[in-house]
């Protein structure tokens, strides 16, 4: 077996926002950095982020502060967040946004020339720095264009299949490059996982083919703990029609600009169910909600801007009870603002250009004149690698994680806009502490264990070696897994269905062990999909087992058989780890007591 | 159904190893560039119903770049060429807190260029690259848009004009506007990015009065 060897002090796996930010920081600290992209540089899922970056800059409303951002984040996460991460995030996000401007990002402006901020679900004040509805593109391109002059070695179209360890610590990674299908071995003194999400475990998803939980699975198999995996965010508004675009995101910004959700009877159903936790902050009539979206500071937010988990469930209720739209969604209407403002069509095109474009091109719908059809889509996983709040290091020495593949900051539900700020703040910290780990360590990592490398290589090539008659191709298995997760581990879960899901995962795993790849190793998506299956199955099992364990409803996790919140589950996180016998162990981990000053901030903002 | 759906359907059912790049499926990442019935398009944004379906549809890889396999081409030159362009260098902050002020109208001008999703369709259609293969002498429309975004950035202080003339090869562009026609983001590449940059080069290097002024300025200074 042959492979090419690369050596870096810090190896960052994943080149979306978190990975790029970590790589830039590590490189600034003076260590050598390798950056692995599953696709080409700059194509990661971060480009899809639309709404903005949440940061308490207080440019639009001077009443905003890190404390209120912290309180909003904790409330959104239903208080099972890692409070220290939420605190660091709220405090450091403004600096991370200003830093982007220093690196060339061009945000939309306030009348006095500062960075403009917009309203978003769950945020008390206008807080999202944005660029129309393409903020993610601006963020990733800014980091990319800054990063390419930092001496970072970028490995594009490269996939990692295993982390390599020396005893308790990580010493590298093994993978292959897509173009020729050749193996690559990366020796590294610290590894940062920034691989993003798991959306491809579900049939309806806003995520690209890349979101197969690679970092989650790599960490799990390397002995790290996963946390909060039951919390999968279903974004309330994805496209539902035509079928090819099902799941593609419709930004929350549509609702932030005054778009409303309406059922087939023409009723704004979001007024029908406002949760107690948010009642005092929510408008009780349409007029007030409209004024809020237009910047009236005395108005409270419309119920369309309640947290994503709640909005998604209300939409599901309308559809289930027969008040849905023709293609199985509900209506999202921004064209109605024409009744309230002049030049509404121009305003919509300026504020939501890519939404206008997306519906016009893909669905033949002019959103300035007619309503969109939308329904929930798998969007984000709050759960991930359990890491230390200060350093982002996992329970495996030298293994760090940041961004979507790490857990903690978002708790049971992420607020829109907190993802881009999370990946900047905690991505930076991961890079900083990974570099620090490398510089301060006394012992150099030991040699690479040839046995681990050979085992990884053998496993990677197995799909080609299986007898053609024996196995099946990867796409059928992937499709069946996605259908099963959508049906049994979706927005509303029950013990009976979750247990069925556990059984299905076992059967699908057996099929995946016989998956075969046809053709040769050069740029072979079928081979790649066959290798992704194992990661998808690992994260699906983690989600399902964690969902079984949390016998309550909280945030994004809703149990039909336990429909209310249970205070005792509010004091724990669910942890998943790999047992010595290879089975998945689930346990409950008490949440540390919050310091008095943070408690007080939460009380003051209730 | 869009062309990409059809290609992925073939990949899932008939040819598992069919090589194609794609990510977002919503025209935002610029990965799925190809030549559909001969014209450079994003596969994810081309509806089948917009094509004549009585004839077979041809989907081919971009021709301005070396083929790797099936619909995948080697676009790495674009990344290498980008690295040769001097990065953003802002003026000192305007406010004591380290922030800058700029008006929305100033932002608008470069925001148009920053919409670019790096699909490289403009590079593909540019005859300087496609027919004449002058990749080593000309950076192409995408990177001229990138340079324009930096040069017209309200905060930037770097001077890229000499480099645009020399290494960038901006003189090779003869304004046929093919790039503008294929841009899926609707960026007015030629009129708003390339022509103003060409004007800067002309003002600097080919305006006799300007040269005289600079000569005496240097002599006097």
Return the domain boundaries, chain A: 3-225+385-440, 236-376, 452-590
Q: In what order do the strands lie in the sheet with A232-239?
A: A232-239, A372-381, A330-333, A260-262
Q: Does B221 have pLDDT greater than 60?
A: no
DSSP state for residue A384 in the 8-state scheme:
E
- From B39's Cα to the closest Cα of chain A, the distance in A is 17
Query: Taking residues A338-365, what's their average pLDDT?
Result: 91
**For the residues A285-296, what does the mean pLDDT come to?**
93
Distance in angstroms (rounded) separating the CA atoms of residues B72 and A49: 26
CA distance A233 to chain B (A): 18
What are chain B's domains?
A: 3-73 (3.10.20.30), 76-220 (1.10.1060.10)
Q: Which residues of B touch A145 (CB under 8 A)?
A: 82, 87-88, 146
Q: Quick one: pLDDT at residue A467?
A: 63
For A40, the closest chain B residue by CA position comes to: B31
Within chain B, what is the greatest distance between any pair of CA atoms?
75
CB A418 within 8 A of CB A81: no
| C-alpha dihedral sign at A332, A248, A82, A421 | negative
Q: Which residues of B touch A360 (CB under 8 A)?
A: none
Cross-chain Cβ contact A527/B17 below 8 Å: yes
Contact B107 A245 (CB under 8 A): no
A48/B28 CB distance under 8 A:
yes
Cross-chain residue pair B111–A357, CB shorter than 8 Å: no
Which CATH architecture describes the domain A3-225+385-440? 3-Layer(bba) Sandwich (3.50)
Q: What is the mean pLDDT of residues A155-181?
A: 97
pLDDT at A507: 98
Q: How far is B197 from chain A (nearest CA, A)?
A: 19
Record: contact A525-B72, CB cut-off 8 A: no
Q: Which residue from A196, A192, A169 is spatially nearest to A31, judged by alpha carbons? A: A192
Beta carbons of B156 and A209 less than 8 Å apart: no
Query: Which tokens is B2 given?
Result: 């869009």
Q: What confidence category does residue A190 fall into, taking pLDDT thresholds of 50, 70 and 90? A: very high
Distance from CA of B134 to the nearest CA of A (A): 23
Burial class (CB in 10 A: 0-12, 13-18, 19+), A481: buried
Q: Show residues of chain B in contact with A43, CB under 8 Å.
A: 23-24, 29-31
Tell me the C-alpha distance between A404 and B1, whole Å: 30
Q: Which two tokens stand for residue A17?
A: 């926002």
Q: By mean pLDDT, which of A17-21, A116-120, A522-526 is the weakest?
A: A116-120
Which residue, among B10, B14, B17, would best test binding to A if mutated, counting the most A CBs under 10 Å from its CB?
A: B17
Q: State the ipTM, two decimals.
A: 0.95
Among candidates A45, A149, A208 on the partner chain, residue whose Cβ is nearest the Cβ of B87: A149
Going by C-beta distance under 8 Å and a sequence separation of 6 or more, which residues neighbour residue A344? Answer: A335, A337, A338, A368
Other CB atoms closer than 10 Å to residue A84's CB: what's the count?
17
Q: Which pLDDT does position B124 carry in this prediction?
A: 98
Q: What is the pLDDT of residue A310?
A: 92
In CATH terms, the fold of domain A452-590 is Methane Monooxygenase Hydroxylase; Chain G, domain 1 (1.20.58)
Strands A372-381 and A330-333: what pairing?
antiparallel
Q: What's the pLDDT at A307?
A: 87
H/E element, A30 = none
Both tokens of residue A30? 């003076």
**Alpha-carbon separation of residue A466 from A463, A471, A472, B33 (angstroms):** 6, 7, 10, 34
3 state SS of A270: helix
Helix (H, G, I), strand (E, B) or coil at A35: strand
pLDDT at A403: 98
What spatial distance separates the first Cα and last Cα of chain B, rounded to whole Å?
Answer: 67
Residue A592 pLDDT greater than 70, yes or no: yes
Confidence of residue B187 (pLDDT cuts 50, 70, 90): very high
Q: B31, A243: Cβ pair inside 8 Å?
A: no
Q: Under the phi-then-psi rule, with left for phi > 0, alpha for psi from -120 to 50, and beta for the rest, what region is A331?
A: beta
Q: Which residue in A55, A135, A145, A152 has the most chain B C-beta atoms within 10 A of its own C-beta, making it the best mutation to test that interface?
A: A145
Chain A residues with beta carbon closer than 8 angstroms to that of B75:
40
Give the residue with greater pLDDT, B82 vs A245. Answer: B82
Number of neighbouring beta carbons within 10 Å of residue A285: 11
* Confidence (pLDDT) at A201: 97
Q: For residues A431 and A453, what is the distance between their CA atoms, to the nearest angstrom?
A: 26
Contacts of B156 in chain A (CB under 8 A): 104
pLDDT at position A354, please?
A: 85
Q: What would the mean pLDDT of B64-92 be, rounded to a whole number? A: 97
Compute the nearest-CA separation of A543 from chain B (Å).
24
Cβ(A543)–Cβ(A297) under 8 Å?
no
What is d(CA A434, CA A196) in angstroms, rounded to the nearest whole number? 18
Q: What is the pLDDT of residue A468?
A: 66
Inter-chain contact B16–A112, Cβ cutoff 8 Å?
Answer: no
At B219, is the pLDDT very low, low, confident or very high (cuts 50, 70, 90)? low
pLDDT in tens, A464-506: 988 666 789 999 999 999 999 999 999 999 999 999 999 999 9
Least Cα distance to A170 among A195, A193, A190 occurs for A190
Peptide bond into A242 cis (omega under 30): yes
Which tens digit of pLDDT belongs to each residue from A537-571?
999 999 999 999 999 999 999 999 999 999 999 99
A50 pLDDT tier (thresholds 50, 70, 90): confident
- Residues in chain A with CB shorter than 8 Å from the CB of B83 are 148-149
**What is the distance between the alpha carbons of residues A546 and A231, in angstroms, rounded to a whole number?**
9
Contact A233, A211 (CB under 8 A): no
Q: In this complex, do A45 and B23 lie within 8 Å of one another by their Cβ atoms?
A: yes
Smallest CA–CA distance, residue A146 to chain B, in Å, is 7
Q: What is the pLDDT of residue A469?
A: 64
* Token output for A456: 């990884």
A-to-B residue pairs, Cβ atoms closer than 8 angstroms? 160
Q: Answer whether B179's CB lies under 8 Å from B138's CB.
A: no
pLDDT band of residue A351 (cuts 50, 70, 90) is confident
The verdict on a CB contact (< 8 Å) between A106 and B114 is yes
Provide the whole-model pTM: 0.94
Active site residues of A: 235, 255
Contacting residues of B for A112, CB less than 8 Å apart:
101
Q: Name the burial class of residue A354, with classes exposed (0-12), middle (13-18) and buried (19+) by CB atoms within 10 angstroms of its CB.
A: buried
| Token pair of B40 as six digits | 């450079």
- Mutating which of B7, B10, B12, B16 best tests the A interface, going by the most A Cβ atoms within 10 A? B16
Segment A350-368 shows an average pLDDT of 90
> Residue A241 — very low, low, confident or very high, per pLDDT cuts 50/70/90?
confident
Q: Do B23 and A208 touch (CB under 8 A)?
A: yes
Contact A362 B101 (CB under 8 A): no
Q: Which of A148, A523, A524 sits opposite B83 (nearest CB)?
A: A148
Which range has the worst mean pLDDT, A130-139, A417-426, B22-31, B202-211? B202-211
Q: Which residues of B touch A45 (CB under 8 A)?
A: 23-24
Of B20, B74, B87, the CB nearest to A145: B87
Q: Are A505 and A540 in contact (CB under 8 A)?
A: yes
| B91, closest residue in chain A (CA to CA) | A102
Beta carbons of B88 and A146 less than 8 Å apart:
yes
Q: What residues in A contact B20, CB-CB < 8 Å?
A: 525
In chain A, the residue whose alpha carbon lies closest to the alpha carbon of B86 is: A149
pLDDT at A245: 87
Average pLDDT, chain A: 95
CA B159 to chain centre: 20
Confidence of residue A166 (pLDDT cuts 50, 70, 90): very high
Distance from CA of A409 to the nearest CA of B (A): 26
Task: Give domain A236-376's CATH number out of 3.40.47.10, 3.40.50.300, 3.20.20.70, 3.90.700.10.
Answer: 3.90.700.10
- The residue ranking higher by pLDDT, A252 or A8, is A8
Please give the residue of chain A at the shortest CA–CA distance from B108: A108
DSSP string over B145-205: HHHHHHHT-TTB----HHHHHTTT-GGG-----HHHHH-TT---IIIIIIHHHHHHHHHHH
The answer to whether A62 touches B97, Cβ cutoff 8 Å, is no
Residues of A in contact with B101 (CB under 8 A): 112-114
The minimal CB distance from B115 to the residues A39, A98, A134 is found for A134
| Interchain CB distance below 8 Å, B31 and A39 | yes
How many angstroms separate the CA of residue B215 from the nearest CA in chain A?
34
């Amino acid at each position: 077996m042959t492979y090419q060897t690369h050596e870096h002090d810090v190896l960052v796996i994943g080149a979306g926002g978190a990975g790029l930010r970590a790589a830039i920081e590590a490189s600034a600290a003076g260590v050598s950095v390798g950056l692995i992209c599953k696709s080409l540089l700059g194509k990661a899922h971060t480009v899809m982020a639309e709404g903005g970056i949440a940061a308490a800059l207080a440019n639009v409303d001077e009443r905003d502060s890190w404390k209120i951002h912290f309180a909003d984040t904790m409330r959104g996460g239903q208080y099972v967040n890692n409070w220290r991460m939420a605190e660091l995030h709220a405090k450091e996000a403004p600096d991370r946004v200003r830093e982007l401007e220093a690196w060339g990002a061009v945000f939309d402006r306030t009348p006095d020339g500062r960075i403009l901020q917009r309203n978003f679900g769950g945020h008390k004040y206008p807080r999202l720095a944005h660029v129309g509805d393409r903020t993610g593109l601006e963020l990733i391109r800014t980091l990319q264009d800054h990063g390419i002059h930092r001496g970072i070695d970028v490995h594009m179209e490269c996939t990692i299949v295993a982390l390599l360890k020396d005893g308790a610590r990580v010493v590298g990674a093994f993978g292959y490059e897509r173009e020729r299908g050749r193996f690559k071995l990366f020796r590294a003194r610290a590894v940062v996982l920034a691989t993003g999400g798991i959306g491809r475990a579900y049939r309806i998803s806003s995520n690209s083919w890349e979101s197969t939980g690679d970092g989650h699975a790599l960490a799990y198999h390397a002995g790290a703990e996963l946390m909060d995996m039951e919390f999968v965010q279903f974004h309330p508004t994805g496209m539902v029609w035509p079928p090819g675009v099902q799941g593609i995101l419709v930004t929350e910004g549509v609702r932030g600009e005054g778009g409303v959700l309406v059922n087939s009877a023409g009723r704004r159903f979001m007024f029908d169910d406002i949760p107690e936790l948010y009642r005092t902050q929510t408008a009780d009539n349409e007029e007030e909600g409209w004024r809020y979206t237009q910047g009236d500071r005395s108005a409270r937010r419309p119920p369309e801007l309640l947290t994503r988990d709640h909005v998604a469930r209300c939409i599901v209720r309308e559809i289930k009870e027969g008040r849905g739209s023709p293609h199985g969604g509900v209506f999202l209407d921004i064209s109605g603002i024409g009744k309230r403002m002049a030049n509404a069509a121009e305003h919509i095109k300026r504020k939501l250009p890519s939404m206008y474009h997306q519906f016009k091109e893909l669905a033949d719908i002019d959103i300035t004149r007619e309503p969109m059809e939308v329904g929930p889509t798998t969007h984000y996983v709050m759960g991930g690698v359990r890491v230390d709040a200060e350093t982002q290091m996992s329970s495996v020495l030298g293994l760090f994680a940041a961004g979507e593949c790490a857990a903690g900051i978002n708790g049971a539900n992420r607020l829109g806009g907190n993802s881009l700020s999370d990946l900047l703040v905690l991505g930076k910290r991961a890079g900083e502490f990974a570099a620090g780990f490398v510089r301060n360590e006394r012992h150099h990592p030991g040699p690479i264990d040839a046995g681990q490398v050979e085992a990884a290589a053998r496993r990677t090539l197995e799909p080609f070696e299986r007898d053609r008659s024996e196995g099946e191709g990867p796409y059928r298995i992937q499709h069946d897994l996605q259908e099963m997760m959508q049906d049994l581990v979706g927005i509303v879960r029950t013990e009976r269905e979750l247990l069925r899901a556990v059984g299905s995962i076992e059967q699908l795993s057996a099929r995946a062990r016989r998956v075969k790849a046809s053709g040769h190793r050069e740029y072979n998506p079928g081979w790649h999909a066959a290798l992704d299956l194992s990661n998808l199955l690992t994260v699906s099992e983690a989600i399902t087992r964690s969902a079984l364990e949390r016998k309550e409803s909280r945030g994004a996790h809703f149990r039909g058989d336990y429909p209310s919140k249970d205070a005792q589950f509010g004091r724990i996180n669910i942890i998943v780890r790999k047992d010595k016998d290879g089975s998945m162990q689930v346990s409950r981990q008490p949440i540390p007591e919050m310091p008095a000053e943070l408690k007080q901030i939460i009380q003051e903002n209730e | 159904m869009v062309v990409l759906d059809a290609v992925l359907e073939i990949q899932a059912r008939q040819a598992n190893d069919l090589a194609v790049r794609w990510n977002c499926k919503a025209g935002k990442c610029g990965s799925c560039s190809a030549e559909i019935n001969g014209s450079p398009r994003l596969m994810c944004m081309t509806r089948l119903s917009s094509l004549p379906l009585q004839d077979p549809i041809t989907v081919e890889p971009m021709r301005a770049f070396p083929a790797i396999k099936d619909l995948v081409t080697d676009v790495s030159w674009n990344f290498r060429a980008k690295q040769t362009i001097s990065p953003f260098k802002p003026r000192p902050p305007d406010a004591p807190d380290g922030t800058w002020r700029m008006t929305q109208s100033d932002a608008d001008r470069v925001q148009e260029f920053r919409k670019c999703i790096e699909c490289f369709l403009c590079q593909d259609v540019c005859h300087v690259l496609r027919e004449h293969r002058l990749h080593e002498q000309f950076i192409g429309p995408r990177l001229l848009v990138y340079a324009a975004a930096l040069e017209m950035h309200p905060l930037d202080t770097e001077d890229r004009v000499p480099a645009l003339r020399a290494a960038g090869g901006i003189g090779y562009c003869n304004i046929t506007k093919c790039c503008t026609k294929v841009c899926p983001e609707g960026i007015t590449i030629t009129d708003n990015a390339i022509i103003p940059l060409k004007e800067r080069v002309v003002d600097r290097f080919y305006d006799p009065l300007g040269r005289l002024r600079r000569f005496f300025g240097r002599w006097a200074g």
